[in-house]
Structure formats: structure tokens, C-alpha cells
Chains A and B, each alone.
Chain A
């Protein structure tokens, strides 16, 4: 199996590209033979981050760019989703369950990212943009060796 791989994709900030990002991710993870459940979980996490960039960072301005970086190192998957949008003034608050700055939004995005990935890191500066880093180990924790 592939031990190391990196792919970077830049795409327009339009809603249709949320599905595109998921397809790119599925293709990237194809050699890993993940269960549908695990793949679904990672796809949701990515979908949330990309959607946030399009909706919150860029206010659905279609002329902006979202960058997705995917990195596979042994069995650790790292996803970076970056935008040059408005930034998040209070990251701690943004990460709270059910916190949303927009009507009709449940404030579930970051919760899903946290739930479905091992690590979530948010780097943001107001007026500059936001980078969300998601990490997940793809294979089960190795069983503790019986040899002792």
C-alpha cells in the first residue's frame, strides 16, 4: 500500500464543490480500503470544513478560492482546509456545540469534525482567513503485543 502521498487541490468557493471535495477525498483514500463507515465519517468532517469556508469565510462569494491539502503518512491522514476569508474572531466560542452565527445552521460542523477525527486544529486570523487541520489514524490501534 502507498506509504506516503500528498495532493493539493484549489477550487472555487461554490456549493457544488463541496461534493467535488468529497469525491477527491474518496479517490485519494481508495488505496486504503477503508470501511464505508469510516470513509463516511471522514467525508462528513471534510464536508463541514469546506462548507464553512464557502458560507462563513466567503459569504458565498463564488470568486474566492478554497485550498484542500490531503496528506497520507503511514496510516495517518491529515486534511487541511484553507481559506482567505473573514476569519474567526473567537475560536473557542466557534467550537462550542450549537454555536452558530447564522440562522438555519445548527452549529454542528465543528462538533462533527471533532467527533469523526482524532484531532482538530483551527488557525484563524480576522480579515486574513482560516485553516482547519484534521487528523485521523486510519487503522485500528495496534493490539497490545501478547509477547511480554
Chain B
């Protein structure tokens, strides 16, 4: 199975989970992002491309929130882009919408996400 895609551009880390964000994928996501953040203290921006995520549960939400806190602790920001409407609804329900910059798949004008 294809693992998470990752790209680095100056102070921005782009990550694209390859499947639904449940406990299995959340672990892959957490390990990869934390490894990158630990190795590079200059990262100030985390852009998560959720185009391949059609389902999220509390494990996925927990992983996103945990990374958000890490970025916060270094005065950085976190962006979720290409967010599916069904995933968006869960982000809304859990209160995460207020914390992160969220760009829905359909309303997005300028492309924030990388080409993989």
C-alpha cells in the first residue's frame, strides 16, 4: 500500500494521507509529521491535503489536533485543504473548524495543495 506523501518547501510541510483517517492511518500520519517537525525546527506551516480522505473518526481528529498543537507551540499554523464535505461536517461537529484554516474541496479557488 502506498504510504503517506510528504513534501517540504522552505518552512512549509505538505502531507497527503492516502486513505481514510482512522487509527491506522492516524498513526502513520502522526509518526511522519512528528519526525519531520522534530528534524526541522524551521517548519512553521503544515498543509494537510485531505483529498483522499472520505472518512474521519476520533482517532483522525485526535491526530490532527495533536499536530495543530505542535505547530502552535512554534508559532506556526496548520491548513487543511481539499476537505470533502462529509469530513468537513465532522470537523465542524468536533469544534476543530474554529482552530484550523479549512478549505473545502469545492470552494477552493487558489490551489493551496501541492501537485503530487
Binding site for B on A (CB under 8 A): 15-16, 18-19, 22, 36-37, 40, 43-44, 47-48, 51, 54-55, 104-106, 108-109, 112, 115
Q: With A15-B23, A44-B57 given, can you name 19 additional A-B contacts, CB distance below 8 Å?
A: A15-B24, A18-B23, A18-B24, A22-B55, A40-B55, A43-B55, A44-B90, A47-B22, A51-B58, A51-B59, A55-B23, A104-B63, A104-B66, A105-B59, A106-B58, A106-B94, A108-B58, A109-B57, A115-B93
Closest residue of B by beta carbon distance from A15: B24
Interface string of B16-43 (1 = CB under 8 A from A): 0001101110010010000000000000
Q: List 22 A-B contacts (CB under 8 A).
A: A15-B22, A15-B27, A18-B22, A18-B23, A18-B24, A37-B89, A40-B55, A43-B55, A47-B57, A47-B59, A48-B57, A51-B22, A104-B30, A104-B62, A105-B58, A105-B59, A106-B58, A106-B94, A108-B62, A108-B94, A112-B57, A115-B93
Indicate if the CB atoms of B58 and A109 lie closer than 8 Å: yes
Indicate if the CB atoms of B66 and A112 lie closer than 8 Å: no
- The docked-state distance in angstroms from the alpha carbon of A112 to that of B60 is 13
| B53 close to chain A: CB less than 8 A | no
A51-B23 contact, Cβ under 8 Å, with A104-B63, A104-B66, A106-B62: yes
- The docked-state distance in angstroms from the alpha carbon of A146 to that of B74 is 62
Chain B residues closer than 8 Å to A43, beta-carbon distance: 55
| B65 close to chain A: CB less than 8 A | yes
Chain A residues closer than 8 Å to B89, beta-carbon distance: 37
Dominant SS among interface residues on chain A: helix
Interface centre among A19, A22, A108, A109 (most CB of B within 10 A): A108
Chain B residues closer than 8 Å to A19, beta-carbon distance: 19-20, 22, 24
| B86 close to chain A: CB less than 8 A | yes
Chain A residues closer than 8 Å to B66, beta-carbon distance: 104
Closest residue of B by beta carbon distance from A16: B24
Chain A residues closer than 8 Å to B22, beta-carbon distance: 15, 18-19, 22, 47, 51
| B113 close to chain A: CB less than 8 A | no
Closest residue of A by beta carbon distance from B60: A47
Chain A residues closer than 8 Å to B59, beta-carbon distance: 47, 51, 105
Question: Min CB distance, B106 to chain A, in Å?
Answer: 16
- The docked-state distance in angstroms from the alpha carbon of A37 to that of B85 is 10
Indicate if the CB atoms of A106 and B23 lie closer than 8 Å: no
Question: Min CB distance, A148 to chain B, in Å?
Answer: 38
